[in-house]
Structure 1
Amino acid sequence: METSDLQNIHATDSNEMAAATATEAGTATAKRKYTRRAAGKNGRKVRGAKAAKATPSKPRYDRIFSLDIGTRSVIGIVAEQTPEGLKIIATERQEHKTRAMIDGQIHDVPQVAAVIDNVKKALVKRTGPLKSAAVAAAGRALYTMTAAAEMEFSGIITSEQERALDFAGVQAAQAKLAESHTVDDLSNYYCVGYSTVKYELDGTQLKTLVGQRGRIASATVIATFLPRQVIDSMHSALQSVQLDMQALTLEPIAAINVLIPATMRHLNLVLVDIGAGTSDVAITKNGSVIAYGMVPQAGDEITDALSQQFLLDFNVAEQVKRDVTNGLQGKFADIMGMEYDLSPEEVLKPIMPNIKKLAEAIARQILELNGGEPPQAIMMVGGGSLTPNLSKFVAEIMDLPMGRVAVRHPDKIDGVLDIPEELKLPDAVTPLGILKIASINTLHFLRVYVNDAEYSLFNFRDLTVSDALLNAGILLKKLNGRPGLGTMLKINGENKFIPGTMGTMAQLTVDGSPANLDTPIHDGSRIQVIPGQNGAAPEITLEDVLEIPPSYTVFINGEETHIAAQFIINGQTAQPGQLLHDGDEIISKETRNLGEVLNSAGFPPTGKKVKYTLNDKESQYTISPKILLNDNPATLTTEVHQQDYIEYIAPELPKLGDVLNVSELDASLVIYYEGQEHKIPSATVSLEVNGHPATPNTLIADGSNVRFMKSLRAATTVSDALLAVGFQPPAAKSRVNFTILVNKQPVNFTDPIKNGDELAVVISEHDSSKPFMDSGTASGSTAASAAVNLTGANEPRPMTPEAIRDSIRLADKINSIPGLSEALKNNRF
């Protein structure tokens, strides 16, 4: 049922109730009003005697359908809300045929729905249509949180304002549960009930704030949360039998409203609702409910113990338990067909340890919730409370007198008229409590959608977008765009921070229209949360953080040049307009040194780089220019001023010797021959540029291909020198002898020659009286005899093997001298 429908029904019933009350009072005014209504719109009387004798119908009152969906049974109560109180007009009870519910939670929705439907149909025959039901929840995964909320008021505080403060406390408890990390996803948990522990107004504790005047009020509440699965399964079971969930509470809250009125809550009392699957605990103290808890053990543990002990079907064991509890004989047959006829004592004796174990679990939960101290009294309700000896064991464990632990029956309830006998049982306390809470509390479910996901909310008050977002676990501030990262710069040694742009706020819409956190919502509202956009880091240029000084004028090679101020970012020259980044270090200079001025004008201050290939490997060589400042030599660090004259003389191409650091002495030897200086290529170094022989003085252009080779020979020999100076030996027919001298000393062809040596060749006439070969001298006759006899007149002397090898080596040298070998061949005789 929609919330608006419920409000309309309430208004209609109130009007009819007022008219009926006036008629029953017998006043003439009421009679005249009714007669005029019966006369019709035109004021004419209705035909027939029946019209004249018309009497008002019986007054209609608000009807409340209370439904306790328990682990073992479903109990339904229908009551009318009359001025005197709740009047019960029908009740129905039906048990589950299977274990469709376990520990207070629905496990088989269709089976539970079937039982609910049977209860509903039985009641409808006596009460008429039932469209909604008030229910209570229980379950294993129950969480309670205590939290406080504070509000500022002006004027007299109304009941609506008090409830708004209560709900703020519930929101605080919900936020506290989320921060505790007890549950993985808060959106999967519903608040199923709450109790206000205390109110304070300007520091003074009060029972209620209504009618009080103050400025700062606070409320401390205990809120209880259950998994969404528990609530959703109950909702599904109700919807399948065409029932809306009118109101929802927690089972211990329902029970405590029946047995412990507000006037008794200054006592430290405990209410334990022992059902089939769970034992729910609620504790009062100092005027309010201080704690809720749940023990996942109850009557089914005792039934199961009987089933295990006597090999019985669970339903048979349940019936046996009820019989012996009522003092009846235990008559049953086990699964083997063996029949039993036992006294209650004989049936209960073997399962007494299980009953004591249940009592210990309940006592342990009470002590935990009550700060380790036993309470003043314990009231036990629910079908499981009738378990034999259970209250006795609890009293012993808690060290309380037997009269302080007792099973309570709902014989009389404030606000409920004439309780039927069938409801004066311990297991009827919860459905009666649900009925009472539903009569005084207008809690309804609102189903809303947040980003297309469905959520259910309780209308503690007029709900807003903020309530829906809290229920959905959405913190709007986390969806707002984050500010962009700022930029930290160091400018001329000082730090400067420039913040990023601000992010945009998240946008909210309700049913397609712009909204805010305070926008009211209704059943079926569709809320969309559009995340904000993150801000961006700032885009900063040099002009944004520095004042650009004017330029000054210099003359470079006669041309007027304007020099702007210099900016250096992270050691690199920068230009105005360049973007800056986080961590950049910026230095600005109004005056510049000579190197900086030349660089800004396009003249490389350190010279030109010539790229070349050396033995197939890329390399480069820098050639420095000649720089004059005001006609004087200057270094690159010299400061330049307005109207200064700079002359920049570009360097010439480099020489190969400079590039390779090879001197003339490394590449050649200087010797003297026939009074003239000669350069002889070194035996150890060979130079080429672009495939041609080169010397250290060869110029290297950009892109040149240079080859630099070293010979395996360690020194330059006499034969190398003879070839270099172009020595031509005399003709063989001349019959002359020649002697090679270095620094006036006879030498051989293979002897080394050094830089600065004087080379000479002495030629003399051949003396026929002497042998042609003159042993031991490096003369032409020796060389000739090693290769061939030049005169032919004499046969060569016999030679040793060592002399033969020397002659061969000498002959090789001879053959390398241009023209000498040919002359020897042509002059054989």
Structure 2
Amino acid sequence: MPENEETATTSQAGEKPRRGRPRKAEGTKRRTRRTAKKTTARAQKPRTQKSNLLFALDIGTRSVIGIAATKEKDGTIAILATERQEHATRAMLDGQIHDVPQVAAVIRGVKEKLESDVGPLKSAAVAAAGRALYTMTATAEKQIAGVIRAEDERDLDFAGVQAAQAKLAASHTVDDPTHYYCVGYSTIRYELDGSQLKSLVGQRGDVARAEVIATFLPRQVIDSMQSALEATGLSMQALTLEPIAAINVLIPPTMRHLNLVLVDIGAGTSDIAITKNGSVIAYGMVPKAGDEITEAISQNFLLDFNVAEHIKRQAANGEGVHFSDILGASYDLSAQDVIKPILPQVRDLAGSIASEITRLNGTAPQAVMLVGGGALTPMLRDYVAEALELPENRVAVRQPQDVSGLADIPEILHSPDAVTPLGILKIASLNTLHFLRVRVNGTEHSLFNFRTLTVADALLNAGINLRKWNGRPGLALMVTVDGKTRSFPGTLGTLARLAVDGEAATLDTEIKDGSDITVVRGEDGTSPEVRLADVTEHVPALHVSINGAPQSITAKVLINDREAGPSALLADGDSVTSRMPESFGEVLRACGLPPQGRRVHYRLNGEETSYVSTPVLRANDLPASLSLPVHEGDRLTYGESSAPTLGSVLGITELDAALVVYYEGIEHKIPSAALTLKVGGVPVSPDTPLAEGADVTYEKSERKATTVSDALVAVGFEPPAATSRVSAQILVNDAPVDFTAPIKNGDTLAVKLTPLASTGAADSSTQVTPQHGAETMATAGAMHTASAAGAARTENAAKAADATANTANTTNAANAVSPRYTSLTEALGLTAPPAETGTAAPQKNPTISIADLTRND
């Protein structure tokens, strides 16, 4: 026990409150009085065990109250004993269990104390606070045939509960409505053909309506409470809501035609129930209660929460208090001294309660009854009356005295906080509100027996809509055949199967505690299988001849514009059309002939490819095209054109394969040095036919050009003999060029030979000089070698020229006047065109000296 709580005492009547610490004797006396006040009061202590014991537990935020009683033969309830114990810690907040072991310890203490007087207790009836309560009002309607029975009225009520649960799910106020249990409902009104009635039983009409208010609690609240009970060896006999329990004590059904409000003010929540027009019309909750006042005292006087709670109770009884704060300061205060600083919090609590009442009721009610331990908060009653603008005598703090069905209520229970446990006791005595636990497809669910429960109730609680478990009919197949819609129905699905404890059941099968309910989903129906042949009709054939052979061509049947066979399956929405081939190409395709022609497969540079050989088409002996319309009896001819050549397949033009040059006024075709064409590794010409499976190598390089050397070899140029003593000059388009210079299509090639005797001394380009002797000899030798090589490529001619130049260089090494040459161009006496500098460099004309040729020999 906290130290400050030990020093909390009550001042003597008539004494003036004092400040400072109490004398030792006074402190001892006060502690004894407080301890005596907590002692359990009992109405009677039976010596023999009762077989029909009832055990009601009010598990509140601050304390646990237990009542043991028996139900007599006349139906009245005789209270045997009662016990109250407070929580040592704040194990419950706002009416919900936060520390199951701590709460179970308090329950165990209450249970063991009562068992010492009445014998073993096996089960208990409990009530849940409305902190997590959700209420939904909904209406159900039903067509009536004949006299309305009690079962019809019950079914209409249940349909209203289902509508309320569906409304809760659609409101999106909870994450998963299947985790909320319906703990009770009230029928607000019945209507029959628009007329309001108290009951529908025995009435006749066409349309019956029921408006119900259903209450839902989250599974977590119930599971934690059930865990606390099981930890003490108790099962949950019945469960209800605290406002429902309280209203059963103070507002009997005969008084519910009045617009009355009952507010159960506990420590964590203030639960509200409203009656009007003969029924409970609304439930509500305010998340404020006595703890807000205790917290205000704790904050104002710097006290431990438990000490502040004790001081609040003393002040509420008009008693003075003595306590020490956290700093060690001691206080002797009157009740008024404690109450005055917390009046703003009391007014705030009253305002919150009044606002919720107005919201639920629409206007101020006729009267308000306050119950629960928090109802004793000073000035709360006055502030509620003020906020609702009601006379003070229309707001009252009620306590149970004469309660219908309860005999000899002990004096200890004549207090506002005893209303709820007495209401729980009354509910425990009824067989219609027992708590059931069933399993639906292996998952445990809790139901509240506010009437005889059936499989339908369990499925509703589990969130199972049986219609969604029935097998769906197979989808019908609808197709369009040549513009006309045809429908093919599917098979029906099977219904869901229900079983209770392994036996076949229906929605109306009654269930009990521990029932195991199984729902097996029905099988869906199947869509029909319709094939193309099932919907197509006979279409006349087209008769023609192809290459002299008669052909009978049937209509082409398309599914969604794609050709299909008779066994093709149809899908919903398919469009089937029949179309006769109309063109030459369509007729060929229908007869299995490729309209575009024969396809030749070959390899090109290592990759598989193909070429289609265009066919020759004739209709009635006249040239035709693939798009030509075909009529009945037409004579068609389909033949292949000449075999394709590599040139036509690869697109090799004459310009690609050869160059045209003019030499001595004659046109010559020179093979292109930029093109390589082989089949199976063997060089071939573009005119070579393309055979099936041929391995073709085709290379074309834009960087490689045909040179003058290639051209000279190709045109059959014969260089003069080495003893001819002439100078040679190569001209392309009348311009001197190098022996390795490129030559283009259409160029004119010439070789100018000039005898050395006719060369003028003033003409430096043709004059024989000693250093040019080797060049002349090399040029003549290179030309002679190139001529001897015949059709050799440029590379071979260059190699021959290089070899001759090397020979000349070797010979000239012995001649002191001739230098050694290091390149083919230098040996030939030819120079490449100068770099583009804006001024043309002079060209050096090749010359051949007779003397040089003679000396070289």
Q: Could you tell me how far apart the structure 2 residues matched to 1:450 and 1:624 are?
A: 74
Q: Which of these residues, 77, 84, 109, is aligned with residue 100 of structure 2? A: 109
RMSD over aligned Cα atoms: 4.8
Displacement of 1:692 in angstroms is 4.3
Q: Could you tell me how far apart the structure 2 residues matched to 1:756 and 1:128 are?
A: 131
User: Which is worse superposed, 652-661 or 796-805?
Assistant: 796-805
Displacement of 1:567 in angstroms is 3.8
Q: Secondary structure at the match of 1:817?
A: helix
1:543 aligns with 2:513: no
Displacement of 1:239 in angstroms is 3.5
Distance 1:80 1:679, change over 3 A: same
Q: Which of these residues, 788, 793, 796, is aligned with residue 818 of structure 1? A: 788
**1:625 alignment partner AA:** P
Displacement of 1:97 in angstroms is 4.3
Q: Which of these residues, 264, 268, 271, is aligned with residue 273 of structure 1? A: 264
Give the alignment of 1:91-490 within 5 angstroms.
91-99=81-89, 100-121=91-112, 123=114, 130-332=121-323, 340-371=331-362, 373-439=363-429, 442-479=432-469
TM-score (norm 2): 0.73
Distance 1:179 1:623, change over 3 A: same
**1:798 alignment partner AA:** V
**1:345 alignment partner AA:** Q
Distance 1:431 1:167, change over 3 A: farther
Displacement of 1:184 in angstroms is 1.1
Displacement of 1:303 in angstroms is 3.3
Q: Which runs of 5+ in 2 are unaligned?
A: 1-47, 791-799, 805-849
**1:93 alignment partner AA:** E
1:650 aligns with 2:640: yes
Displacement of 1:543 in angstroms is 2.7
Q: Could you tell me how far apart the structure 1 residues matched to 2:462 and 2:88 are?
A: 35
- Is contact 2:721–2:784 with CA below 8 Å preserved after alignment? no
**1:470 alignment partner AA:** L
Q: Could you tell me how far apart the structure 1 residues matched to 2:267 and 2:674 are?
A: 109
Aligned to 1:798: 768
Distance 1:723 1:495, change over 3 A: farther
Distance 1:491 1:635, change over 3 A: farther
Q: Secondary structure at the match of 2:592?
A: coil
Give the alignment of 1:751-790 within 5 angstroms.
773-774=757-758
Distance 1:655 1:129, change over 3 A: closer
TM-score (norm 1): 0.75
Q: Could you tell me how far apart the structure 1 residues matched to 2:664 and 2:377 are?
A: 142
Q: Secondary structure at the match of 1:818?
A: helix
Q: Could you tell me how far apart the structure 1 residues matched to 2:397 and 2:757 are?
A: 150
Distance 1:157 1:419, change over 3 A: farther
Displacement of 1:428 in angstroms is 2.1
Displacement of 1:455 in angstroms is 0.5
Give the alignment of 1:493-508 within 5 angstroms.
506-508=496-498
Displacement of 1:366 in angstroms is 1.8
Q: Which runs of 5+ in 1 are unaligned?
A: 1-57, 763-769, 777-785, 787-795
Displacement of 1:415 in angstroms is 3.9
- Is contact 1:611–1:621 with CA below 8 Å preserved after alignment? yes
Deviations along 1:537-565, one digit per CA (max 9) or x if unpaired, are: 87665334533646555443344544333
Aligned to 2:598: 608
Displacement of 1:92 in angstroms is 0.5
Q: Secondary structure at the match of 2:131?
A: coil
Displacement of 1:327 in angstroms is 3.0
Deviations along 1:88-120, one digit per CA (max 9) or x if unpaired, are: 242413122414433222334344444444544
Aligned to 2:677: 688
Displacement of 1:471 in angstroms is 1.0
Q: Could you tell me how far apart the structure 2 residues matched to 1:342 and 1:713 are?
A: 116
Q: Which of these residues, 621, 626, 648, is aligned with residue 611 of structure 2? A: 621
- Is contact 1:687–1:695 with CA below 8 Å preserved after alignment? no
Aligned to 2:20: none
Distance 1:516 1:620, change over 3 A: same
Distance 1:693 1:184, change over 3 A: closer
Displacement of 1:76 in angstroms is 0.9
Aligned to 1:38: none
Q: Could you tell me how far apart the structure 2 residues matched to 1:580 and 1:761 are?
A: 85
**2:366 alignment partner AA:** Q
Deviations along 1:624-661, one digit per CA (max 9) or x if unpaired, are: 22233344433223344555544332333212343344
**1:817 alignment partner AA:** S
Q: Could you tell me how far apart the structure 1 residues matched to 2:490 and 2:746 are?
A: 75
Q: Could you tell me how far apart the structure 1 residues matched to 2:165 and 2:344 are?
A: 40
Q: Which of these residues, 553, 569, 584, is aligned with residue 563 of structure 1? A: 553
- Is contact 1:728–1:819 with CA below 8 Å preserved after alignment? no
Deviations along 1:416-469, one digit per CA (max 9) or x if unpaired, are: 444443333222222232333444561222211122111111233333333222
Q: Could you tell me how far apart the structure 1 residues matched to 2:392 and 2:268 are?
A: 25
User: Which is worse superposed, 248-257 or 573-582?
Assistant: 573-582
Distance 1:77 1:652, change over 3 A: same
Q: Could you tell me how far apart the structure 2 residues matched to 1:281 and 1:390 are?
A: 15
- Is contact 2:674–2:706 with CA below 8 Å preserved after alignment? no
Aligned to 2:812: none
Q: Could you tell me how far apart the structure 1 residues matched to 2:552 and 2:357 are?
A: 92
Q: Secondary structure at the match of 2:788?
A: coil
- Is contact 2:68–2:118 with CA below 8 Å preserved after alignment? no
**2:200 alignment partner AA:** L
Displacement of 1:749 in angstroms is 12
- Is contact 1:139–1:230 with CA below 8 Å preserved after alignment? no
Displacement of 1:524 in angstroms is 1.8
**1:174 alignment partner AA:** Q
**1:422 alignment partner AA:** I
Displacement of 1:274 in angstroms is 1.6
- Is contact 1:502–1:536 with CA below 8 Å preserved after alignment? yes
Distance 1:220 1:716, change over 3 A: same
Distance 1:287 1:758, change over 3 A: closer
Distance 1:665 1:426, change over 3 A: closer
Q: Secondary structure at the match of 2:689?
A: coil
Distance 1:330 1:594, change over 3 A: same
